[in-house]
C-alpha cells in the first residue's frame, strides 16, 4: 500500500467514526457530557463504582464496602445495556438519584448515597448521565451484595426512607450568600461528605445533630474526622489555607498527606474542582454548627 | 541413670522454655519501624516548609526550598530500604499495610517516583525558578498521597 492511499484510508475511517459517533450521541443523549465530567469528579462516582485495587475498568463495578449490615459491591454503571445502565432513560436515571429507586421501582440501599444526590438539579443529573454514557462500556456482571437477613429485604427500605430520607432537589437559601449556597450544593449534594463524616445509628441513619461530627467506627475500621468548626474536636483551628490545601492536594497542616478513602477522594474529586468551588466548600463548612465530638486521640 | 538423664532433659527443656520466653518478652519491634516513622515525620516538616511558600503565604526562599526538596529526595531513597520483609503490622505498631509486601515492586517504584519529583524541585530551586517550582510542587504531594492511599492504614 502506498503512503498516499494509506493516509486516505485512515482519513476515511476517521470520517466514518466521527459520523457514527455523532449519530449515536445525538440519539442516546440529551445532556452535556463536558459539564457531566466535572459533576462526575465532584460526585466522586468513580470511588465506589470502580474496582481500583484489582485494576478494574472505570465504573465497571466491583469495589467492596463493608458495613455492619453486610458487604456491598458497587455495581457496573457503564453504558452497557445488559450489564450496566445503558438501557436507562434520563427519567430513570433521575429517579435513581432523586428517589433512590431502580427502574423496576425497587428501593436502593442507602449505601448508594442517593440521600445526598437527591439534592442535585435535574440538569446536573442529565449531564452526569451523558458523561457516564460517553465512557467505555463493560460486560462485567455486577456482584450481588452480601447482606444479612433481615436487612437484605429491599422493601424494608421503604420504612428507612420514611425515617431518614428527605427528597430534593436543593433550593438555594436566599438568606445566605451565593458562595455558601454553592458550597452547600458541593458538600451536601455532589460531594456527599456527610455520608462518611457522620456517625450512624443502629439503623444506619445519620442523627441530624451529629452531621459532619465524624465517625469513630467507620466501615472498614477507620476513624473519620469531625469536620465541624469545633475548635477542640473539629477543624475550627485550621486556617482557610489549611483546609484548601487538604482539598487541593491532600496535605494536612502537619505536612502529612492523607491516605485511605480521603486520599482517593482528593485524587478523584476535590483536587479536580476549581479554586472557586473549593472556596465555596470551605465557606459552607465554616458556617456549620460546631459539634464537640472527639473521634481521634490527637485532634 | 535413667532418672538422671530424664532430669537433665527436663532441666534442659525448662532452660529452653525460659530462653524462649525471655526472647519473646524482649522481642523488639524491628528498628526499621521507628526509623521510617521518624523519616516520615521529617518529610512532613519539609512539606510544611514548602507549602506556605508555594501557596504564597510565606516569601519565596530558593535556598530553604532547595534544602527542603533535597531532604525529600534523600528520604525517598533512604525510605525504600526501611521496608524489608518482616517489618509489617504483625511485628510491631505500624500503619504499614501488608499490601506493601504483596506488591513490593509497585511500592518501591513509588519511592523512585518521589525521588524524581523531589530531584526536579531541587533543580528548579537551584535555578531560582520560583514559578517552575510552584508548578512542579503538586507532583510531590501526589506521590505522597498516591502511596498513602493503597499502602497505609487510615488512622
* Domain extent listing, chain B: 30-151
For residue A53, name the pLDDT band (cuts at 50, 70, 90): confident
Do the Cβ atoms of A257 and A271 come closer than 8 Å?
Answer: no
Cell, residue B49? 516548609
Residue of A259, A264, A271 to mutate, interface with B, max B Cβ within 10 Å? A259
Task: Inform me whether the C-beta atom of residue B114 falls under 8 Å from chain A C-beta atoms.
Answer: no
Of A128, A132, A135, give the one whose Cα is nearest residue A36. A128
- Whether the per-residue pLDDT at A181 is higher than 90: the answer is yes
Q: Which CATH architecture has domain B30-151?
A: Up-down Bundle (1.20)
Q: Which residues of A touch B44 (CB under 8 A)?
A: 254-256
Going across the sheet that includes A64-67, the strands are A64-67, A70-73, A146-147
**According to the model, what pLDDT value does residue A296 have?**
80
Domain ranges of chain A: 32-141+148-164, 178-286
Q: Where are the alpha helices (DSSP H) in B30-85?
A: 31-55, 62-80
A27 versus B113: which is more confidently predicted?
Answer: B113
What are the Cα distances from residue B114, in Å, to B11, B79, B85, B134, B145?
A: 56, 11, 21, 16, 11
A81 versus A21: which is more confidently predicted?
Answer: A81
Instruction: Give the count of Cβ contacts less than 8 A between chain A and B.
Output: 72
The string of pLDDT tens digits covering residues A132-145 is 999 999 999 999 99
Task: Inform me whether the C-beta atom of residue B98 falls under 8 Å from chain A C-beta atoms.
Answer: no
**According to the model, what pLDDT value does residue A299 have?**
41
CB contact under 8 A, B149 and A259: yes
CB contact under 8 A, B146 and A261: no
**According to the model, what pLDDT value does residue A260 have?**
86
How confident is the prediction for chain A on average, in pLDDT? 90
For residue A263, name the pLDDT band (cuts at 50, 70, 90): very high
DSSP H or E segment with residue A117: helix A114-117
**According to the model, what pLDDT value does residue A269 have?**
97
CB contact under 8 A, A249 and B138: yes
- Whether the per-residue pLDDT at A11 is higher than 80: the answer is no
CB atoms within 10 A of CB A34: 11
A170 versus A13: which is more confidently predicted?
Answer: A170
Residue of A51, A257, A272 to mutate, interface with B, max B Cβ within 10 Å? A257
What are φ and ψ of residue A257, in 5° steps?
-115, 130
**According to the model, what pLDDT value does residue A30 have?**
80
The C-alpha atoms of residue B79 and residue B88 are separated, in whole angstroms, by: 15
What are φ and ψ of residue A146, in 5° steps?
-115, 90
A115 versus A218: which is more confidently predicted?
Answer: A115
- Whether the per-residue pLDDT at A12 is higher than 80: the answer is no
Do the Cβ atoms of B72 and B140 come closer than 8 Å?
Answer: yes
| Nearest-Cα residue of chain A relative to residue B50 | A255
**According to the model, what pLDDT value does residue A222 have?**
82
**According to the model, what pLDDT value does residue B3 have?**
61
Q: Please state the pTM of the whole predicted model.
A: 0.82
Ranges of residues in chain B with a pLDDT under 50 are 15, 17-26
Cell, residue A140? 462485567
- Whether the per-residue pLDDT at A236 is higher than 60: the answer is yes
| Residues β-bridged to residue A67 | A70
**According to the model, what pLDDT value does residue A155 have?**
87
The C-alpha atoms of residue B124 and residue A186 are separated, in whole angstroms, by: 36
Mean pLDDT of A170-183: 97
SS3 at position A249: helix
CB contact under 8 A, B154 and A222: yes
Do the Cβ atoms of B49 and B61 come closer than 8 Å?
Answer: no
Pairing mode, strands A146-147 and A64-67:
unpaired
Q: Which residues of B touch A220 (CB under 8 A)?
A: 154
Q: Which residues of A touch B142 (CB under 8 A)?
A: 249, 267
Amino acid at each position: 500500500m502506498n503512503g498516499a492511499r494509506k493516509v486516505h484510508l485512515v482519513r476515511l475511517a476517521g470520517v466514518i467514526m466521527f459520523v457514527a459517533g455523532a449519530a449515536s450521541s445525538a440519539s442516546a443523549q440529551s445532556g452535556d457530557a463536558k459539564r457531566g465530567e466535572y459533576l462526575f469528579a465532584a460526585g466522586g462516582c468513580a470511588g465506589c463504582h470502580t474496582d481500583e485495587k484489582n485494576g478494574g475498568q472505570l465504573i465497571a463495578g466491583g469495589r467492596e464496602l463493608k458495613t455492619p449490615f453486610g458487604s456491598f459491591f458497587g455495581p457496573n454503571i457503564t453504558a452497557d445495556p445488559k450489564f450496566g445502565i445503558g438501557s436507562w432513560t434520563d427519567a430513570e436515571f433521575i429517579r435513581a438519584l432523586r428517589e433512590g429507586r431502580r427502574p423496576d421501582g425497587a428501593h436502593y440501599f442507602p449505601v448508594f448515597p442517593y440521600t445526598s444526590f437527591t439534592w442535585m438539579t435535574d440538569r446536573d443529573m442529565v449531564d452526569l448521565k451523558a458523561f457516564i454514557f460517553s465512557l467505555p462500556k463493560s460486560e462485567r456482571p455486577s456482584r450481588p451484595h452480601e447482606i444479612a437477613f433481615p436487612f437484605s429485604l429491599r422493601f424494608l427500605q421503604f420504612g428507612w426512607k420514611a425515617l431518614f430520607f428527605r427528597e430534593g432537589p436543593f433550593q438555594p437559601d436566599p438568606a445566605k450568600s451565593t458562595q455558601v449556597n454553592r458550597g452547600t450544593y458541593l458538600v451536601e449534594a455532589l460531594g456527599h461528605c456527610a455520608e462518611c463524616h457522620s456517625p450512624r445509628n443502629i439503623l444506619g441513619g445519620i442523627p441530624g445533630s451529629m452531621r459532619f461530627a465524624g465517625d469513630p467506627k467507620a466501615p472498614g475500621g477507620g476513624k473519620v474526622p469531625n469536620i465541624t468548626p469545633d475548635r477542640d474536636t473539629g477543624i475550627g483551628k485550621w486556617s482557610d489555607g489549611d483546609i484548601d490545601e487538604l482539598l487541593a492536594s491532600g496535605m494536612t497542616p502537619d505536612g502529612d498527606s492523607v491516605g485511605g478513602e480521603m486520599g482517593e477522594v482528593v485524587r478523584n474529586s476535590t483536587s479536580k474542582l476549581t479554586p472557586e468551588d473549593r472556596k465555596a466548600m470551605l465557606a459552607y463548612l465554616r458556617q456549620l454548627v460546631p459539634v464537640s465530638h472527639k473521634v481521634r486521640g490527637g485532634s | 541413670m535413667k532418672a538422671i538423664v530424664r532430669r537433665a532433659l527436663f532441666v534442659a527443656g525448662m532452660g529452653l522454655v525460659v530462653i524462649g520466653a525471655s526472647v519473646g518478652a524482649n522481642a523488639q519491634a524491628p528498628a526499621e519501624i521507628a526509623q521510617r516513622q521518624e523519616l516520615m515525620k521529617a518529610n512532613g516538616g519539609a512539606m510544611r516548609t514548602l507549602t506556605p511558600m508555594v501557596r504564597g503565604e510565606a516569601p519565596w526562599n530558593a535556598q530553604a526550598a532547595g534544602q527542603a526538596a533535597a531532604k525529600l529526595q534523600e528520604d525517598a531513597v533512604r525510605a525504600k530500604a526501611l521496608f524489608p520483609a518482616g517489618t509489617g503490622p504483625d511485628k510491631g505498631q505500624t500503619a504499614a499495610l501488608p499490601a506493601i509486601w504483596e506488591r513490593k515492586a509497585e511500592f518501591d517504584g513509588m519511592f523512585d517516583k518521589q525521588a524524581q519529583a523531589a530531584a526536579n524541585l531541587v533543580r528548579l530551586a537551584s535555578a531560582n525558578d520560583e514559578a517552575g517550582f510552584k508548578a512542579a510542587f503538586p507532583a510531590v504531594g501526589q506521590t505522597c498521597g498516591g502511596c498513602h492511599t493503597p499502602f497505609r492504614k487510615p488512622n
